[in-house]
């Protein structure tokens, strides 16, 4: 009997293996082996993802691998969440080149994830790339000066960008209204988060050739309008329009009506709106609005309408009836304050997140057959429990409708019952095979329902690929102190902890307990509202983390208010970081120390 060789495996199996490897592993393993393997991994040579590399791997990749494949690279992704300082180091690596295209002539897309203030110098070098995606740091806010420069480079400087994503999760971008409007002739697709509705109208003026616009508006402004949505400036070519309104005071229905009825070219409309305007709950107003969109072929909608004042849940029946009478397919559910209305079915053309509530377990629909259809391409499910009393079954009934999710985000949790045999019987068929990230943010009074949390976090039958956890510090310590003395969460490789006033100070003793329970962490992040909750033991906490976690690749500690500081050592003496990492040479560790963040990558 002949012995099979690795090269005898079919291409389909080789590609399946590659899914579980990062780019550097694939190229190191298969690159330049033989012509057949070179052809098989072509897509991985074209799409270079520098996420989740150690510092040593990143340095090897930049100086020895990328130059060999420079003519082949079409897409490039750099993520500083997993590798703090990676964008700045990459910019230093390409310093001899005026533009990134000089080094990577075939490059058509660059994605900069966790973009920070110190990364702004790379922007002038990427303006000749067709597709530019920039996601700002979710915790350390961009300076006003950084946002001004981004606006000037991307919208007020001549460039070749055809597709742009500019996302700031906290406040959105305040665009510059006092500059002469420069038309972005090449820009056809834009995803952006802006501060106010004025910024949206300025986008209409700057980018008249858009065919796709996805915009998130963060806040309501009491200032006098800087822009007016007159019919002559409304876009003439938009086919795909998504609008996410995060402040309930921001957009009354009449304003939405005026915007949309002046964009009759819309074919795909997506709305995610939080509001206190009851007109959003009236089906006949929506039917009237849609009559002005003759090309509309697809509607995705999630409405969060604040209209309740009593201690009993809102009755959704009269609102549902208005949509039934107007032939619109929706589902409706409510708690004591908020009425939720979603378009159905939950079927999407690309990976999408859905925002919902545990009260969706009691949802009613205009068409139950559509409501019960399996969700398609929903990769993120975001719950807001609003701290209202719920049962575990409420949450899991809703989760059961979205079995393909990769991210489960649940906030404001108040699960009051204990998981009994009936619950386990009802949930025994639930499987989340793709779930990798769990964000469990703030239980009522920091008192986590331990059985509910453990069913999600420690159930390998439910979620075999779960490896990333995000929690509030107070909730997290509450859980850790109630686990068996020898218990360990070995499955988790990423941990993010957030702290504010309700969580108290970050204590060294608690950190030691956390490190004992989570021994396999590769990426660890602590973000606090005030540096005063961590400064007292800051150096000792960092030393404890670096010396205890043998698999650690990156560590980040950040604050929103005040300044991080080391009370023990002089400002310029950081050799202790190298020693704590057990490294002999400083080139094997990259660290950043400033007022708002301390990050270490090794």
Mean pLDDT in residue range 376-395: 93
Pairing label, strands 364-365, 330-334: antiparallel
Statement: the pTM of the whole predicted model exceeds 0.85: yes
Nearest to 317 by CA among 286, 289, 341: 341
What lies within 8 Å, CB to CB, of 550 at 6+ separation is none
Higher pLDDT, 570 or 342: 342
pLDDT for 69: 85
User: 374, 404 in Cβ contact below 8 A?
Assistant: no
Strand extents, DSSP E, 17-106: 47-49, 75-79
pLDDT band for 225, please (50, 70, 90 cuts).
confident
How high is the pLDDT of residue 443? 93
pLDDT digits (tens, 9 = 90+) for 310-322: 788 899 999 999 9
pLDDT in tens, 246-255: 999 989 999 9
Output phi, psi for 79, to 5 deg.
Answer: -130, 110
- Whether 204 and 229 have beta carbons less than 8 Å apart is answered as yes
The pLDDT value given to residue 450: 93
- Rounded distance between C-alpha atoms, residue 332 and residue 479, angstroms: 34
Query: How far does the chain reach from its first CA to its final CA, in angstroms?
Result: 47
| Mean local confidence (pLDDT), 545-549 | 91
CA 534 – CA 557 distance, rounded (Å) = 9
The alpha carbon dihedral of 388, 392, 394, 399 has a sign of positive
Among the residue ranges 153-162, 278-287, 531-540, the one predicted with the least confidence is: 531-540
User: Is the pLDDT assigned to residue 568 strictly greater than 60?
Assistant: no
| Number of other residues whose CB lies within 10 A of the CB of residue 404 | 16
C-alpha span between 253 and 255 (Å, rounded): 5
User: In angstroms, what CA-CA distances link 550 with 24, 178, 338, 520?
Assistant: 22, 52, 47, 8
What pLDDT score does 569 carry?
46
Is residue 283's pLDDT more than 70?
yes
Q: Which of 438, 448, 445, 500 is nearest to 470 (CA)?
A: 438
Residue 291 in tokens: 């009559």
Which of 381, 321, 326, 396 minimizes the C-alpha distance to 348?
381
Does the pLDDT value for residue 543 go beyond 50?
Answer: yes
Question: Can you tell me the distance from the alpha carbon of 447 to that of 313, in angstroms, rounded to the nearest whole number?
Answer: 24
Confidence bin at 181 (pLDDT 50/70/90)? confident
Distance CA 294, CA 60 (A): 55
**Cβ-count burial 119-150 (b if 16+ within 10 Å, e if not):** bbebbebbbebebbbbbbbebbbbeeebbbbb
* Residue 311: per-residue pLDDT: 81
Tokens of 448: 């986590």
Q: Which residue has the tokens 């990577």?
A: 104
| Partners of 587 in beta bridges | none
pLDDT digits (tens, 9 = 90+) for 320-353: 999 999 999 999 999 999 999 999 999 998 999 9
Does residue 200 register a pLDDT over 60?
yes
* Of 280, 297, 300, 278, the residue nearest 288 (C-alpha): 280
Q: Are 341 and 315 in contact (CB under 8 A)?
A: no
Kindly list the distances between the CA atom of residue 485 and the CA atoms of 456, 481, 488, 516, 517, in Å, as whole numbers in the listed order.
Answer: 20, 9, 9, 10, 9
Whether the pLDDT of residue 27 is over 80: the answer is no
Query: Which contacts of 278-283 are long-range, i.e. CB under 8 A and separated by 24 or more positions?
Result: 278/305, 278/307, 279/252, 279/253, 279/254, 280/253, 280/305, 280/341, 281/305, 281/307, 281/319, 281/322, 281/339, 281/341, 282/319, 282/322, 283/319, 283/322, 283/323, 283/324, 283/325, 283/326, 283/328
């Amino acid at each position: 009997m002949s012995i099979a060789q690795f090269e005898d495996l079919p291409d389909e199996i080789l590609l399946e293996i590659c899914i579980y490897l990062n780019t550097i592993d694939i190229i190191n393993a298969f690159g330049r082996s033989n012509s057949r393997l070179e052809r098989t991994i072509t897509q991985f040579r074209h799409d270079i993802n520098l996420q989740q590399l150690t510092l040593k791997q990143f340095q090897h990749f930049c100086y020895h691998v990328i130059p060999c494949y420079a003519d082949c690279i079409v897409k490039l992704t750099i993520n500083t969440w997993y590798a703090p300082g990676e964008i700045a180091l990459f910019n230093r690596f390409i310093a001899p080149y005026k533009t990134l295209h000089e080094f990577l002539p075939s490059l058509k897309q660059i994605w900069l994830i966790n973009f920070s203030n110190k990364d702004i110098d790379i922007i002038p070098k990427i303006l000749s790339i067709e597709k530019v995606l920039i996601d700002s740091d979710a915790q350390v806010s961009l300076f006003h000066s950084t946002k001004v420069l981004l606006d000037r480079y991307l919208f007020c400087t001549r460039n070749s960008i055809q597709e742009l994503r500019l996302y700031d999760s906290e406040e959105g971008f305040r665009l510059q209204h006092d500059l002469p409007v420069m038309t972005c002739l090449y820009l056809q697709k834009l995803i952006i988060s802006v501060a106010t509705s004025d910024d949206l109208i300025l986008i209409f003026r700057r980018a008249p050739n858009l065919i796709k616009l996805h915009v998130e508006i963060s806040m309501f402004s009491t200032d006098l309008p800087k822009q007016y949505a007159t019919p002559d400036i409304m876009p003439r070519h938009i086919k795909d329009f998504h609008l996410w309104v995060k402040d309930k005071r921001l957009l009354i229905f009449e304003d939405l009506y005026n915007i949309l009825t002046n964009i009759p070219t819309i074919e795909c409309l997506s709305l995610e709106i939080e509001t206190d305007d009851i007109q959003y709950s009236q089906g006949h107003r929506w039917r009237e609005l849609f009559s002005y969109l003759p090309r509309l072929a697809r509607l995705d909608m999630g409405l969060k309408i604040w209209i309740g004042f009593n201690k009993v849940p809102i009755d959704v029946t009269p609102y549902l009836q208005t949509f039934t009478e107007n032939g619109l397919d929706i589902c409706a559910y409510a708690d004591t304050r908020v009425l939720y209305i979603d378009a159905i079915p939950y079927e999407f053309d690309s990976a999408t997140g859905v925002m919902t509530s545990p009260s969706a377990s009691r949802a009613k629909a205009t068409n139950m057959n559509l409501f019960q259809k399996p969700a398609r391409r929903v990769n993120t499910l975001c719950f807001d429990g609003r701290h209202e009393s719920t049962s575990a079954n409420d949450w899991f009934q809703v989760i059961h409708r979205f079995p393909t999710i990769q991210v489960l985000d649940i906030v404001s949790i108040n699960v009051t019952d204990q998981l009994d045999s009936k619950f386990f019987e009802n949930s025994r068929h639930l499987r989340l095979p793709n779930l990798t990230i769990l964000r469990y943010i703030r239980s009522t009074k920091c008192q986590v329902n331990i059985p509910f949390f453990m069913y999600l976090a420690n159930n390998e039958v439910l979620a075999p690929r779960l490896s990333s956890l995000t929690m509030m510090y107070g909730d997290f310590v509450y859980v850790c102190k109630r686990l068996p003395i020898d218990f360990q969460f070995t499955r988790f490789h990423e941990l993010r902890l957030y702290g504010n006033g309700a969580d108290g100070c970050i204590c060294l003793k608690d950190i030691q307990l956390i490190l004992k329970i989570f021994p396999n962490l590769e990426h660890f992040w602590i973000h606090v509202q005030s540096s005063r909750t961590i400064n007292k033991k800051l150096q000792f906490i960092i030393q404890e983390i670096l010396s205890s976690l043998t698999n650690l690749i990156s560590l980040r500690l950040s604050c929103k208010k005040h300044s991080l500081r080391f009370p023990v050592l002089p400002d310029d003496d950081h050799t202790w970081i190298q020693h704590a990492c057990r490294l002999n040479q400083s080139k094997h560790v990259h660290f950043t120390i400033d007022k708002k963040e301390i990050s270490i990558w090794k």
